[in-house]
Structure formats: C-alpha cells, structure tokens
Amino acid sequence: MTDSKYFTTTKKGEIFELKAELNSDKKEKKKEAVKKVIASMTVGKDVSALFPDVVNCMQTDNLELKKLVYLYLMNYAKSQPDMAIMAVNTFVKDCEDPNPLIRALAVRTMGCIRVDKITEYLCEPLRKCLKDEDPYVRKTAAVCVAKLHDINAQLVEDQGFLDTLKDLISDSNPMVVANAVAALSEIAESHPSSNLLDLNPQSINKLLTALNECTEWGQIFILDCLANYMPKDDREAQSICERVTPRLSHANSAVVLSAVKVLMKFMEMLSKDLDYYGTLLKKLAPPLVTLLSAEPELQYVALRNINLIVQKRPEILKHEMKVFFVKYNDPIYVKLEKLDIMIRLASQANIAQVLAELKEYATEVDVDFVRKAVRAIGRCAIKVEQSAERCVSTLLDLIQTKVNYVVQEAIVVIKDIFRKYPNKYESVIATLCENLDSLDEPEARAAMIWIVGEYAERIDNADELLESFLEGFHDESTQVQLQLLTAIVKLFLKKPTETQELVQQVLSLATQDSDNPDLRDRGYIYWRLLSTDPVAAKEVVLAEKPLISEETDLIEPTLLDELICYIGTLASVYHKPPSAFVEGSRGVVHKSLPPRTGSSESAESPDTAPSGVQAPEQPAVIPTQGDLLGDLLNLDLGPPVSGPPMATSSVQMGAVDLLGGGLDSLMGGGGSGGGSFAAPSTAAPANLAAPLGSGLGDLFDLTGGVGTLPGSYVAPKTVWLPAMKAKGLEISGTFSRQVGSISMDLVLTNKALQVMSDFAIQFNRNSFGLAPAAPLQVHAPLAPNQSVEISLPLNTVGSVMKMDPLNNLQVAVKNNIDVFYFSTLYPLHILFVEDGKMERQMFLATWKDIPNENEAQFQIKDCSLNADAISSKLQGSNIFTIAKRNVEGQDMLYQSLKLTNGIWVLAELRIQPSNPSFTLSLKCRAPEVAPYVFQAYETVLKN
Amino acid sequence: MIHSLFLINCSGDIFLEKHWKSVVSQSVCDYFFEAQEKAVDVENVPPVISTPHHYLISIYRDKIFFVSVIQTEVPPLFVIEFLHRVADTFQDYFGECSETSIKDNVVIVYELLEEMLDNGFPLATESNILKELIKPPTILRSVVNSITGSSNVGDTLPTGQLSNIPWRRAGVKYTNNEAYFDVIEEIDAIIDKSGSTVFAEIQGVIDSCIKLSGMPDLSLSFMNPRLLDDVSFHPCIRFKRWESERVLSFIPPDGNFRLISYRVSSQNLVAIPVYVKHMISFKENSSSGRFDVTIGPKQNMGKTVEGVVMTVHMPKAVLNMNLTSTQGNYTFDPVTKVLTWDIGKITPQKLPNLKGIVNLQSGAPKPEENPSLNIQFKIQQLAISAKTQTWMEGR
C-alpha cells in the first residue's frame, strides 16, 4: 500500500475516471481520488480540468482531505479564478473555526491563492487573524500579509496591514516577532523607500530578546534585520555584539553566518584598543573554521564569505591556514575557493607549508585546479618576498615535469615574477627557452616572447627564437602579435647590428599586412620613433617599468565594505553588490559600514552614497566605482533613456511655455515647437516670454529690466574631469538655463594620443532627478588634441535620490576607451522655473503658514547694486520680485521662486543703502534647500 | 525566499516539484542541467547557479538533487540548510531518502513540504512537531487507516510549537525510560611521506536517542571540556550554563537528534591510531615500478581497527597493477586510475600487506612517486579526543 500506485494509471480516460471518483458518495473513495490528483500534480501533469470537482470536496470535517484540497487550490486557483471564488465562503467560515490549526490553515491557504478577486475577501479574516488570541494564528497571519503584499501592494497599504505588522514586532511571542520581521523584510525589499523597518533602541531590545527564544529560521531573519541597524555609539554596538555572540555556537550554519555579519558590521564601530574587540576577534575564528567541516555546498558559501572576511580583517584567520588545505575529495568548486584563501593568508610565517601544499596540488588530475595552483605559486612569490626564490625553484621543478599546461602556466607567472623582482632570477631563462616549442596558448606564448625581448641581451639566440615566432605571424592571436612586435623592437634597440632585417620584417608585417588597427598603430609608432630619433626610441621602449603590485585581485575597498554588509547573502557569493545582479533592484539602498566612532563624520545620512561628499566648487573624480557601478551599469546599452525633451517645461511652465513656444516657432519659422534648444534663436523669446507669462499687470514692474536682462546667469566652465584621471579625456563644463530648458554645456578635449569615439553619458540618481534629455552627440570621432563643445539638454524627470550635498551630480561618461566617473555641483538657479511668481495674497499667506523654524538667514556681502538693479538681475534667473517696500530707509524686496520639483521658496531681501551687505531671509517648506538657494543668490548677484 | 523546489534524480528526471508561491516552469531546471553537464561529475555541480530571472541553489544528497528556485536576495546558507533539513526529514519519515521512497509516499511528502514552508518562510522543521502534524507511515497505521478511515494528519495544534521549547512535544510517556548517547568522532588528517602529521582535526558529534517521560531536564558534563575548539549546539542546550560552567544542560527533544557537534583541532595533539609503511617507486626509463604498502595499528588501547579501506589515485602513466594482498581484496580501475583495497579488520599479529608490480605506459616520463594514499577505518568505542563524558544527571 504505497503512494506509487497513484502514478500507475496513465491511460487515456484518467481524468474522466478521477472525476467519477471525486463525485463518489464514499468518503474514502473521494480521499483516494484527491490523493491521485495531487500525485499527478506533483509530477507536473495538468489536472486543472478537475477543479470544480475537487473544490466540491472542500467542505469536510476530515482535516487531511481539507489539506489536500487546499494544496490543489493553491496550485490551480490562478488558472481558474472564477471557480476559485466558490471556495471563498469555506475559507471565511474556517477562519472562525474554534480550532486554531484550522484558522491558521485557512488564512495561510487564502494568501497562497493568487487571485485578485479573492484578495478582497481576504482582508477581513486576515485582520481578525492578525489579532487572534492564539500566537500560532498570529504568526501565520503575519506571513500572510507578505503574501498579500506580493499580490496587491496597494491594498495592503490601504488596509493598514503594514502598521499592524509593525505592531507585531512588539508581540509577546518570539515566533510571532520573528515572522513579523521576516514579512516586513520581504515587503521592504520590494519597497526600498519605505521606512518599514525603522529600528530604534527599544525595538532592537525586543528583537534581541526574541532572538534567544525563537526558532533557528526566525533567528536568521532577526539577525539579518539587526544588521541593518545603525547603533548610535560604540557602547550600544558592543552591547548588541555581546548578545549576538552566543549565536555563533548554533548548529544551523545560516544562523552562524548571519551572526558573523552582524558582528563584522558592528565591530567597525568598536575601538581597536578595547579588550572586547580582541575577544570578539578570537571568538569569530572557530565558528568560521567549523563551517568548513559541513557539507560541501555549505563549505562553498562559507568560503566565499571567508574570502571577504579575510580581506577585511586578515587577523581573524591568520593562524588557521591549515584548515584551508585542500582535501583530495573536495568538489572542485571548494578546492578553487580554498586555494584563493590560502594565497590571501600566505605570509612569511607559513609560506613553507603553503608552498609544499601548492606543489602537491600542481600534480593533481583536474586541469583547472592545477593551473590555479601554479598561478598561486607565482602569486606567493610576489606577495612574500622572502619566498620568491623558493617559489621560482618550485616552478622550475614543475617545468621539468613537461606537463604541457603546467609549463605554460609556470611561464606566465614567471613573467610576473620578473616584473616584481628584476635582475634576480634571470638565470632560469635558459630553462624556459627549452620549452619554447611546447607553448600553444596565446598567454604563455606572449609571456615567453616578452621574456625573450626583455632579456634579449642575455639570450644569445634571441633573434633566432623571435624569428621562429615570426614565421607564423598572421596566425597568432593579437596578444602574441603585439608582444612580438614590441619584443623585436626591444631586441633591435639592444642589438642593432644583427637584427635590422628582422625589425623591418616585423614592422612591415604589422603595418602593411595586418587588419588590426591596434597593431598597425603600434607598428607605425615604433617605425616613426626608430626612424626619427633612435635615442628617444630607446628611452621610450626600454624605459624602466614600474614594479607590479602585490595583490592584483583584491576587491576594491569601498565595494568590500559594502559586501561585508551583505555577508551570507547571494551578493557575498557573487562578490557583487545586489544592485548589480538582483532583478528589479533599482531601489536597493546601498549599505555601508558604520563609521568608526570618534571620527568627525556624522552618521546622520547613512543611506546616501558614501563617496559623494566633496568640497563645494571642486571638480572631483569619484575614485571608486563600487557604488556607482550598479546604477550606471546600463550605460553600455546605448543612449540614456530620456523622456520627451520638453516634458518638464511643458508641465511646469504652463502658459509661459505655450507663448514661448509659439513665439519661437514664429521667429524660427520651423515647426520645431517647444523642442528647439538652439540657444541663439531663443534668446529674444526668453526675455519676452518671462514677462508675458507672469501676467500683464506686472509687466510695468519690469520695464527697467527688459533691456538689460541677460537671461539666466551662466558660470564660466570649469574642469570637471582632468585628463590625468580619465585616460586623456578632459571634460569641462557648466550648466545653463534658457527658456525653461536646462542644459549642460560641455567641452570634451582629447589629450590622449588615440582617437576617441562612442561617447555616451549617464547621470546617477540625484536630488532633483536631473537626467540627460537626449543622448550625448559627438558627431565625429575626437582626434588627439581636439576638443568639441556640446550642449546637452537636460530634463528633471529622472529618478530621484537625495544626495549630499543636495546639488551633487554624479556623472559617468563612456567612450571607446573606458568609463569614467566624476561628480560636480550644479548651481541651483538652473532649477528655478519661469512661473515662479506667486500672487501677493498667496505670498503673504504662505509666508505666515511656514513655521519660523524653517526660516534661514544669510548675509550677502560686498554687493553694491541698488534694489531695482537687483530685482531685474534676479528676474533673469527666475527669482521674481513680488513687492518692494521701504521701511525705515531700508529697501525690503519680497521675492519668490519655484524649483522644478514644485518646491516654493520665499525670500525677503533687506537692503540698506549705506551697507554693502544684504540680509537674505529664506522661508521654505523644505529648509534643506535654503543654503543652496542662498548660493544661487550670491552667484547671480555677484556676476 | 524559497520559491519552488524540484527533486531531480541522477538521470536528470524531475520527479517532484513543489511551488510555494507562483508556479515556476520546469524549464528553469535547464540551466541546472547545463551546469551539471559541464561539471561532468555529479559532485562538482556548483551549489549556486544564476539564471536570467532566478537563482538555483542545489544540494546533492543520496543520489538526488534538491534544486530550489529563488528570486530575491536570500541568504544561500539558509536555503542550503533548509534543503538538508528536508532531506533529513524524508530520511526520518521513510527510513531512507531515495527516489522510490519519495514516490511511494508522495502525498506525505507533499504534506510535509507544505508544512515545512509557508510562502518561502520555514514553518515547522523540528521532527517532533512534524510528526505530531503528520504521522509517519508505518505498516500498522496504514492497515488501521484503511479499516477505520482515519488519516495520517493530526488535527490538533502541535503543543511544542509555541512554547519556549518548540523542539519537544508534550505528554510523552514511556514505560521504560532510556537515554542513549552515541559519540562519533571522525579524524581528518593529512600525513606526509615521512609519517609526520601535516594537518589533523577531529570532528565529533554526540547523537542522542532519548526516550524519557514528561519534561526531563538533563545535564551532561565532560571530563575535559577545554579540549573542544568549537561547538555547535542543538537549540535545546542552555548556552549560558555552558559558558559559565562548561556543562551541557538541556530539555531534550523526544527521539533521535544531534545534541552537539564539536571540533578538536591540531593544536591539541591528535594521535592517529594507524600507521602506513609504504614503498612506491618507479624506475627511470623502464615501464614498471614497485608498490609495497603495509598498514598497522598504533596505540589504540586494545581496540581493533575495523572497516579499513585504502584508496590510491595512481599517476596517469600507470597502465595496470599486478599485486598480491595478504588480506582483503583489491581492485584497480584503469580508467580513473584508482586503486581500492578493502582490508577489513587489522589484527596486530599479522599486518595486512599489498605488494607487487606496477606497469607503466612505455615511453612516458617517470611519474611522481608519491601518490596520496587515502585510508578510512573505524574503531568502535574509542574517543580519540579523550574527552568522554563522565556523568549525567536527569530530573
């Protein structure tokens, strides 16, 4: 009597037969039939045709039958939404059942039926169950909120379930707390902006209490949630660490790793002199080592994480080298990871052991592993200077084995060793040369050719060796061709007499017979160098090379810090931030390690990108690509996505735009309507449009100004991206605003020796949603020492993220060479819109309405303009004077302006005729913009 | 969270699928099959595979791949641990975790999976609780069920689930109260050619079988707890007590469970209970070599060494081996170049020896002379870490 019998009926009338059985009167037969249906379902057979018959079996006292029907419903309700409604009544009834098991089962199953129509009926029972007296029902209901949110997020918010869920965090039952946390975390993931998990010391305390008492899975959720908390000082961090430490001894490795994450993160806040810091370091090592004795899959994930931990805090595992020794029966993915960590931990103290191990590995069977082992020996040599000699002799031993791929790998790493320790191990060159013929991989061939060229003076038959490569020049890969070209030129410079023929041959091969532009260019350069100035050629080609760095594959520090916050997650397995690979993660908030206490940096805005803080007015190259990378990754996809070019202005300028646009097209004669960006032709309408738009009544106020209005002030261009930092591309630029359209005026200068093309530009999310409205158009490739002026139209419909400082803009520019990142500050006045004039009454009311705390006062010094000049000057930058009053000899100007995102700023400017400094009071509902508005005032007035 | 689960056998058939959220098409497994093909060996399939829309996290247990599909950022260890727990539960319920046993009990499997995970969140994974919700199949019960029409599904709320001790069910009664503890220690050691230990550590577990009535509160203490370098506890153990007094104090679950696992590493000297004398050499420029291996017991307090199996990965140049053994059988697989010698028990009077001639490919360069010998053995009733518990106290 086993269930396998359910699988045996596969003949044609199966469905029909089941139907008859389901409608049978006998309970027993019904149950058997439902079991058969479930069995077919598990193997992916379509039994949805039986839906009505199965649902009919739902009203039963038999719990097993009920469960089976529920199973069926969950699977097929989506395909039969109308039928699923039939089941609703039973669910609602079951939610009132005296047995908590049935109540929970009903609410659980309802959440799994992913049919919109049903969700409406679900709300009431769910609300009841969230407040149920039985914790089992409550914890099930908590998860149900997450399910419902997945189906219909709006409904969950409207019904207030999120608040109820937040209340459950303080529930008395730890299981309920854990499930509420889990549900909230899941909802928060799809809703990154919401402050669902707003943790404070009280709720942290509750979580820590629940942590001790809930199940292992609950502990994982709670620990992951704790890791997002930012303790306010080191004392708090330490007390959390103390309470989390016992989790390191849990049997569930996921709990252990989540605890490690919390500790690694909060340790950042502890001072290193603290005794506790040392204790914590000691406590972290044993559990990490223990993870390595678990199943191989667990080991793999653990090793990927240990790789990060070792880079961040090598001191934790520095004595544990031996546990990373490879076992012969480890799966290959574990072996490769262990090897990686061995190299990271290699030091003078343990290098002998490591080398002995690596040598063993190099005789293993698996080719990939052997290659990596040989490479590892080379990396050891570069990392630990004292061991270099040993490593080289080990490599020579390996070369003697004559195993093809071992020899090739060995030669590649020996090349690196030569780069690190020049003039030390050249005696081995003879041995290397013996193996010349067996090299068939491009990388090894290129490495060997490099060696021959570099040490041509010591190799008697260097010319013969290189000549032998030259025979098949066209069949070689580019890498080898380039290397061969350089090597022969080096040889020529060292032994000019015998090799003239050879060098001519290679130059002509490279320049005349090759299709590869890189090769051709390099050939021409050498040719010209050699023909014009051999001395200079010598200086260039035989210049001393910089030593190569020790650790070439370390993860870049800011990325590492971010990844430490993701220990235990997929991000840690891929060593990429989640934004780089998780689908639909546009809104993923970058996590960062907490700042060490005592540093002056405040932690008030931990969510903003950590790299963006620069001194004002300074062009800055963003040194790290880590956090930008995620947002800018789609750069390669082509021109940035942009809305219609005038979208912003047409929304926010209303009538002004219509007039402006109309005039524009009249004057320009073209049908371009509002879309024309051509600056010269719009200059006149700019002056006309503004007064027209602000109403005829006010026209006279401005008569004095019209003639002199220069349009919005445009700052001179400054260098944003120096050529040094961008492989020869220099970018300078400024921002301007004309007739409601913002543009970024750029000058791209090519200071490299290479033609640049394929330009593209992209902005990171920023405070006001600035984004390119059109692709960056550079029509011809940019030749060396040429520059091009471009005006890039911008709009403000991009995605918004608050930056610090507010007007910071991070930009990525791509060309055929690379992607470069820089950040710049834009003056706020480019965001002041043309309809920023408020009605007088409105102004008064708003001024009173904004609380006094939001008022900010600034001094504008050394400005010798009178009130009228000021008001006309400001008008040009869309700061409108609403009223002017004279109080006790002082001129008071009341002004208003509006930002592209609809924020109004009201200003009162006090001018004393005798005093060159003015007092500016700003009132705004969003007080953080005030300093930037002040800067804009100052810029406009002083220029 | 965990979206779906597919069970796949070695020949690549998906024989069970379960979805906790919306249905994910079987075709997602194609990425898995691709990786499986690339890995050649079933054990080498990477545990985390990314596909355009999902991530596949898999484990390989008892010739079955448990492949879970996830869509969001989830701790992979959480998924892997859960999958192992699923396999453990099957083992617990059906005696073995195999394709046939799962197919034989497919309805129970489905019910179990439904009970273990809700919307991707683990619900009940403790075997005590699961057994209360869904009774394990026994012959007697299936007979009774078919007569009386009662079911395998319990209809009351499992008592333990919400108490402070979720692992134990209430109202346990036994006529004979018994508690058994099995201490199983595994040495993992790498020993170099000359016989000195490169790396050795002991992985130990204490598996318990507790059949005690009521709510027993037990404590267990060790002779030398300082030896333990790291411990992982079952949730029932009170951590504070261990921290302060180094005593394991706990209210156990009912039935079989793993109480603790621990590690004793090489800092504390680990004595290896066997030794190997070996002589493996290949002559230069000849197509043969000699092979001579003897295994003997070291000091082991009079306990016999049993179940000894030696496996050697011979160099690639080895064509064949002609050996004679004084005890047990040997096989040499010329394709994988693996020599397996099944010895059995070692008697100190007559040490097992395996010697003979190795035939090499002619013309091949002389291979490395030190292939790694892998020796497995068992010793009953000997705790190598010398940590044995001394007394146990129950209330």
User: What is the chain A residue with the closest CA to B198?
Assistant: A322
Q: Any residues with CB less than 8 A from the CB of A458 and at least 6 apart, and which?
A: A426, A429
Q: Within A850-916, where are the H helices?
A: 867-876
Q: What percent of chain A has pLDDT over 70?
A: 83
| Cβ A734 vs Cβ A715: under 8 Å | yes
Q: Within A152-195, where are the H helices?
A: 153-158, 161-168, 174-190
pLDDT for B382: 66
Shortest Cα–Cα distance, A376 to chain B (Å): 20
Largest CA distance in chain B: 80
At A681, the pLDDT band (50, 70, 90 cuts) reads very low
Separation of alpha carbons B181 and A224, rounded Å: 35
A11-38: per-residue pLDDT in tens?
Answer: 556 778 888 888 877 777 888 888 888 8
According to DSSP, the residues that pair with A249 across neighbouring strands are none
As a whole number, mean pLDDT of residues A763-777 equals 82
Separation of alpha carbons A139 and B150, rounded Å: 29
Q: How distant, in Å, are the alpha carbons of A703, A850, A940 from that of A926? A: 33, 10, 22
pLDDT for A610: 39
| Cβ B8 vs Cβ B65: under 8 Å | yes
Shortest Cα–Cα distance, B336 to chain A (Å): 10
Q: How distant, in Å, are the alpha carbons of A367, A401, A568 from that of A440? A: 16, 17, 41
Instruction: Please say if the pLDDT value at position A381 is more than 60.
Output: yes
pLDDT for A624: 38
Separation of alpha carbons A183 and A925, rounded Å: 35
Separation of alpha carbons A899 and A922, rounded Å: 14
User: What does the DSSP 8-state code read for residue A109?
Assistant: H
Separation of alpha carbons A707 and A943, rounded Å: 17
Instruction: Please say if the pLDDT value at position B333 is more than 80.
Output: yes
B184-229: per-residue pLDDT in tens?
Answer: 888 877 777 777 777 778 888 888 888 888 888 888 887 777 777 7
A773-810: buried (b, 16+ CB within 10 Å) or exposed (e) per residue? Answer: bbbbebeeebeeeeebebbbbbbbbbeebebbbbbbbb
Instruction: Please say if the pLDDT value at position A502 is more than 80.
Output: yes
Q: Mutate one of B16, B23, B78, B203 to test the A interface: name it (highest A CB count within 10 A).
A: B78
pLDDT for A40: 80
- Write out the two tokens for A814: 């791509």
| Cβ A254 vs Cβ A220: under 8 Å | yes
Q: Residues of A with CB below 8 A from B105's CB? A: 2-3
| Cβ B75 vs Cβ A259: under 8 Å | no
Instruction: Please say if the pLDDT value at position B308 is more than 60.
Output: yes
* CB spacing of B17 vs A251 below 8 angstroms: no
As a whole number, mean pLDDT of residues B115-137 equals 82
According to DSSP, the residues that pair with A741 across neighbouring strands are A738
Separation of alpha carbons A488 and A497, rounded Å: 13
Instruction: Please say if the pLDDT value at position A619 is more than 80.
Output: no
Q: A680 or A567: which carries more pLDDT confidence? A: A567
As a whole number, mean pLDDT of residues B263-292 equals 76
Tell whether B14 lies on the interface with A, counting CB pairs under 8 A.
Answer: yes
pLDDT for B142: 57
| Cβ A510 vs Cβ A523: under 8 Å | yes
As a whole number, mean pLDDT of residues A864-893 equals 80
What is the CB-side half-sphere exposure of residue A942 using CA atoms within 13 A?
14
Instruction: Please say if the pLDDT value at position A838 is more than 90.
Output: no
pLDDT for A30: 81
Single-letter amino acid, residue A387: S
As a whole number, mean pLDDT of residues A377-388 equals 86
Q: Within A455-582, where are the H helices?
A: 462-470, 478-494, 500-512, 517-532, 534-541, 557-564, 570-574
Instruction: Please say if the pLDDT value at position B267 is more than 60.
Output: no
pLDDT for A302: 93
Instruction: Please say if the pLDDT value at position A666 is more than 80.
Output: no
Separation of alpha carbons B60 and B8, rounded Å: 10
Q: How distant, in Å, are the alpha carbons of A352, A373, A475, A520, B190 from that of A347? A: 9, 17, 43, 44, 21
Q: DSSP per residue over B320-358, as a string?
A: EEEEEESSSEEEEETTTTEEEEEEEEEBTTB--EEEEEE
Instruction: Please say if the pLDDT value at position A289 is more than 80.
Output: yes
Q: Which run of H or of E encompasses A240?
A: helix A234-244
| Cβ A122 vs Cβ A149: under 8 Å | no
B223-247: per-residue pLDDT in tens?
Answer: 777 777 788 888 888 888 888 888 8
Q: A248 or B281: which carries more pLDDT confidence? A: A248
pLDDT for A423: 77
DSSP 3-state assignment of A284?
helix
Instruction: Give me the residue from A65, A300, A585 closest to B47, CB to CB.
Output: A300
**Residue A473 CB neighbour total at 10 angstroms:** 18
Among A516, A604, A515, A610, smallest CA distance to A562 is for A610
As a whole number, mean pLDDT of residues A617-642 equals 38
A493: burial class by Cβ within 10 Å (0-12, 13-18, 19+)?
buried
Q: Residues of A with CB below 8 A from B106's CB? A: 3-4, 6-7, 38-39, 42
Q: Residues of B with CB below 8 A from A100's CB? A: 157
Tell me the three-class secondary structure of A709-763, residue by residue.
CCCCCCCCCEEEECHHHHCCEEEEEEEEEECCEEEEEEEEEECCCCCECCCEEEE
**Residue B144 CB neighbour total at 10 angstroms:** 12
Instruction: Give me the residue from B84, B235, B266 closest to A322, CB to CB.
Output: B266
Residue with tokens 């330009």: A759
Instruction: Please say if the pLDDT value at position A597 is more than 70.
Output: no
- Write out the two tokens for B236: 């029932």
Instruction: Please say if the pLDDT value at position A644 is more than 70.
Output: no
Instruction: Please say if the pLDDT value at position B391 is more than 60.
Output: no
A153-190: per-residue pLDDT in tens?
Answer: 888 888 888 888 888 888 888 888 888 988 888 888 77
pLDDT for A637: 38
At A587, the pLDDT band (50, 70, 90 cuts) reads very low
At A152, the pLDDT band (50, 70, 90 cuts) reads confident
Largest CA distance in chain A: 106
Instruction: Please say if the pLDDT value at position A299 is more than 60.
Output: yes
Tell whether A394 lies on the interface with B, counting CB pairs under 8 A.
Answer: no
Instruction: Please say if the pLDDT value at position A604 is more than 90.
Output: no
Single-letter amino acid, residue A451: I
For chain A, the average pLDDT equals 77
Q: Any residues with CB less than 8 A from the CB of A528 and at least 6 apart, and which?
A: none
Q: Mutate one of A62, A114, A297 to test the B interface: name it (highest B CB count within 10 A).
A: A297
| Cβ A178 vs Cβ A217: under 8 Å | yes
As a whole number, mean pLDDT of residues B323-349 equals 86
pLDDT for B241: 86
At A258, the pLDDT band (50, 70, 90 cuts) reads very high
Instruction: Please say if the pLDDT value at position B370 is more than 80.
Output: no
Tell whether A163 lies on the interface with B, counting CB pairs under 8 A.
Answer: no
At B163, the pLDDT band (50, 70, 90 cuts) reads low
Q: Residue B219: left (phi > 0), alpha (psi -120 to 50), or beta?
A: beta
B180-213: buried (b, 16+ CB within 10 Å) or exposed (e) per residue? Answer: eeebebebbebbeeeeeeebbbbbbbbebebbbe
| Cβ B100 vs Cβ B55: under 8 Å | no
Tell whether A32 lies on the interface with B, counting CB pairs under 8 A.
Answer: no
Q: What percent of chain B has pLDDT over 90?
A: 7
Backbone angles phi, psi at A439, to 5 degrees: -80, 120
Backbone angles phi, psi at A333, to 5 degrees: -65, -30
Instruction: Please say if the pLDDT value at position B82 is more than 90.
Output: yes
* CB spacing of B47 vs A253 below 8 angstroms: no
Touching A: B residues 276-305, CB under 8 Å: none
pLDDT for A596: 62
As a whole number, mean pLDDT of residues A773-790 equals 80
Among A296, A294, A349, smallest CA distance to A320 is for A349
A316-356: per-residue pLDDT in tens?
Answer: 888 888 889 888 778 889 999 999 899 888 888 888 888 88
Separation of alpha carbons A631 and A587, rounded Å: 10
Shortest Cα–Cα distance, B225 to chain A (Å): 15
- CA B153 vs. chain centroid, Å, equals 30
pTM above 0.90, yes or no: no
A196-231: per-residue pLDDT in tens?
Answer: 677 788 888 888 888 888 888 889 999 988 888 888
* CB spacing of A6 vs B106 below 8 angstroms: yes
Task: Of A439-453, A920-934, B63-77, give the lowest mean pLDDT range.
Answer: A920-934
pLDDT for B83: 93
Separation of alpha carbons A843 and A839, rounded Å: 6
Instruction: Please say if the pLDDT value at position A303 is more than 90.
Output: yes
pLDDT for A621: 39
Separation of alpha carbons A176 and A179, rounded Å: 5
Instruction: Please say if the pLDDT value at position A305 is more than 90.
Output: yes
Q: Residues of B with CB below 8 A from A108's CB? A: 118
Q: What percent of chain A has pLDDT over 90?
A: 4
Backbone angles phi, psi at A495, to 5 degrees: -125, 70
Instruction: Give me the residue from A28, A71, A100 closest to B114, CB to CB.
Output: A71
Instruction: Report yes or no for ipTM above 0.85.
Output: no
pLDDT for B65: 92
A58-112: per-residue pLDDT in tens?
Answer: 777 777 788 888 888 877 777 777 777 777 888 888 888 888 888 888 888 888 7
Instruction: Give me the residue from A143, A290, A302 closest to B263, CB to CB.
Output: A290
User: What does the DSSP 8-state code read for residue B310?
Assistant: E
pLDDT for B359: 84
- Write out the two tokens for A638: 């082509």
- Write out the two tokens for A518: 């890189």
Shortest Cα–Cα distance, A111 to chain B (Å): 9
Backbone angles phi, psi at B351, to 5 degrees: -75, 140
User: What does the DSSP 8-state code read for residue B60?
Assistant: E
Instruction: Give me the residue from B80, B103, B166 closest to A298, CB to CB.
Output: B80
